[in-house]
Chains A and B, each alone.
Chain A
Amino acid sequence: MSDLTNRKPETGAFFARDRAWHAPALTPGYKTSVLRSPQRALLSLDGTISEITGPVFGQSMIGELDNDLIHNYARPGESAIGERIVVHGRVLDERARPVPGALVEFWQANAGGRYRHKKETYLAAIDPNFGGCGRCVTDDEGRYAFRTVRPGAYPWPNGVNDWRPAHIHFSIFGHGFAQRLITQMYFEGDPMIWKCPIVGTIPDKRAIEQLIAPLDWGNTIPMDARAYRFNIVLRGRRSTMFENRPEGN
Chain B
Amino acid sequence: MVQELGYLKETPSQTAGPYVHIGLTPNFCAIEGIYDTDLGTIMVNDKTIGERITVTGRVFDGAGALVRDAVIEIWQADSAGLYNSPAEMRGAADPNFTGWGRCATRAEDGVFTFETVKPGVVPFRDGRKMAPHLTVWIVARGINIGLHTRMYFPEEVEANQADPLLLRIEHRDRVDTLIATREGSTLTFDIRLQGERETVFLDI
Q: How far is the CA of A183 from the CA of B20 in the complex (A)?
A: 11
Count of inter-chain pairs, beta carbons less than 8 A: 277
Distance in angstroms from B18 CB to nearest chain A CB is 6
Instruction: Give Cα A169–Cα B19 distance, bound, in whole angstroms.
Output: 9
A9-B87, A39-B198, A180-B146 are known contacts. Are A96 and B34 too (CB-CB below 8 A)? no
> Is the C-beta of B203 less than 8 angstroms from some C-beta in chain A?
yes
Contact present for B7 and A95 (CB under 8 Å): yes
Residue of B nearest to A116 (CB): B31
User: Which stretch in A80-88, A141-149, A202-210, A221-229 binds the other chain?
Assistant: A202-210
Distance (whole angstroms) from the CB of B101 to the closest CB of chain A: 10
Number of A interface residues in the complex (CB < 8 A): 95
**Given contact pairs A51-B204, A178-B204, A184-B14, A246 touches B7 in the complex (Cβ within 8 A):** no
- Inter-chain contacts of B18 with A (CB < 8 A): 117, 119
B48 to chain A, nearest CB (A): 15
**In the complex, what residues of B have CB within 8 A of residue A40's CB?**
174, 198, 200-201
Q: Are B168 and A22 in contact (CB under 8 A)?
A: no
* B126 and A169 contact, CB distance less than 8 A: no
Q: Report chain B residues within 8 Å CB of A215.
A: none
Task: Determine if A48 and B99 form an interchain contact, defined as CB atoms under 8 angstroms apart.
Answer: no
Do the beta carbons of B19 and A42 come within 8 Å of each other?
no
How many Å from the CB of B157 to the closest CB on chain A? Answer: 20
Q: A23-B144, A50-B122 are in contact. Are A43 and B203 (CB under 8 A)?
A: yes
Chain A binding site: helix, strand, loop or mixed by DSSP?
loop
**Contacts A43-B202, A55-B75 given: A23-B133 contact, CB under 8 Å?**
no
B11 at the interface (CB under 8 A from A): yes
* A201–B141 alpha-carbon span in the complex (Å): 13
Chain B minimum-CB-distance residue to A42 = B203
Q: A9 CA to B86 CA in the complex, in Å? A: 6
Q: Separation in Å of the A101 CB from the closest CB of chain B?
A: 9
* A73, B11: Cβ atoms closer than 8 Å: no
Of B49-57, B61-69, B181-189, the one with at least 4 CB within 8 A of chain A: B61-69
Question: Is the pair B86, A56 in contact by a Cβ cutoff of 8 Å?
Answer: yes
Within 8 A of B (CB), among A110-125: 115-120
Question: Do the beta carbons of A202 and B12 come within 8 Å of each other?
Answer: yes
Whether a CB of chain B sits under 8 angstroms from the CB of A162 is no
* Chain B residues in 8 Å Cβ range of A33: 15, 142-144
Interface centre among A48, A131, A233 (most CB of B within 10 A): A48
Q: Can you report 7 A-B residue pairs in the complex whose CB atoms are below 8 A from each other?
A: A23-B14, A39-B62, A63-B34, A115-B22, A169-B17, A180-B137, A210-B12
Which 6 pairs from chain A and chain B are nearest by CB? A107-B23, A32-B142, A36-B142, A53-B85, A23-B144, A42-B203
A residues adjacent to B (C-beta < 8 A): 1-2, 9-11, 13, 15-19, 21-25, 27, 30, 32-40, 42-56, 61, 63, 65-66, 72-73, 92-96, 103, 105-107, 115-120, 131-135, 169, 171-172, 175-178, 180-184, 198-199, 201-202, 206-208, 210-211, 232-236, 246
